[in-house]
Amino acid sequence: MSLTPNIIFDLDGTLADSAPSLCKAGNLLLSELDRPPIDVETYKGFIGKGLHKQVEQLLSYTGGVPQNKLEKHFELFCDLYNADPLSATHLYEGVDDALGYLKALPSRLAICTQKMEKPARVILKGLMIEHYFDGFAFGDSLPVMKPDPAMVNFSMEGFGSGPLIYVGDSETDSLTAKNAGAKFLLFSGGYRNSSIEKLGHDAFFDHYLELGSLVNQILDDWN
């Protein structure tokens, strides 16, 4: 008998290209500090380790973290980003169809993201994909963050047992999948800093049209 798989997805750089929205908020913060803006490609290198680390890296890159003011600037960034996390964010091509296919297999789908729940929910609802998911772990769900496997376990609360597959785009995602004992499918179009060859994965894909067949291959091997 085939087991129903549990498929866990990262959000930023995996399902949605949110870097333009994050970069916009970052540049508004830099403007408050009389610092010049940075481009989106540079900003992508800061994404993946949680928003607090993201702001710290942004400030360090552009002239340093003002003494004893990281928390103040983090809070300002959150206010700026939460005011508009959606307008410059879009799904990667083929995501909606891929999620629909996986849901119909059937499979249990979950979100496991470093992004705080408030903006993440706005994005999931605004991009009309929230209904595909049965479990969620956000950056403020637990006292730990990825790559701690507790994030994956939390996202799957109430799920039955089955093959575990993690879909992500970054070094943090690769390590999260390893720590959780999951097969890791790497989306090559996200925000990784390493080459595909140097980033541990079971398979990679360039377009979401490929995801369904990769999942089926894993399930065939599992059975």
The C-alpha atoms of residue 216 and residue 87 are separated, in whole angstroms, by 34
Angle, helices 19-32 vs 51-61, to 10°: value is 50
Distance CA 88, CA 1 (A): 44
Query: Are 92 and 85 contacting, i.e. CB atoms less than 8 angstroms apart?
Result: no
10 is catalytic: yes
Phi first, then psi, for residue 182 (nearest 5°) are -105, 150
- Among 10, 12, 169, 173, which one carries the catalytic annotation? 10
Bridge-based pairing of strands 108-112 and 135-137 is: parallel
Active site positions, annotated: 10
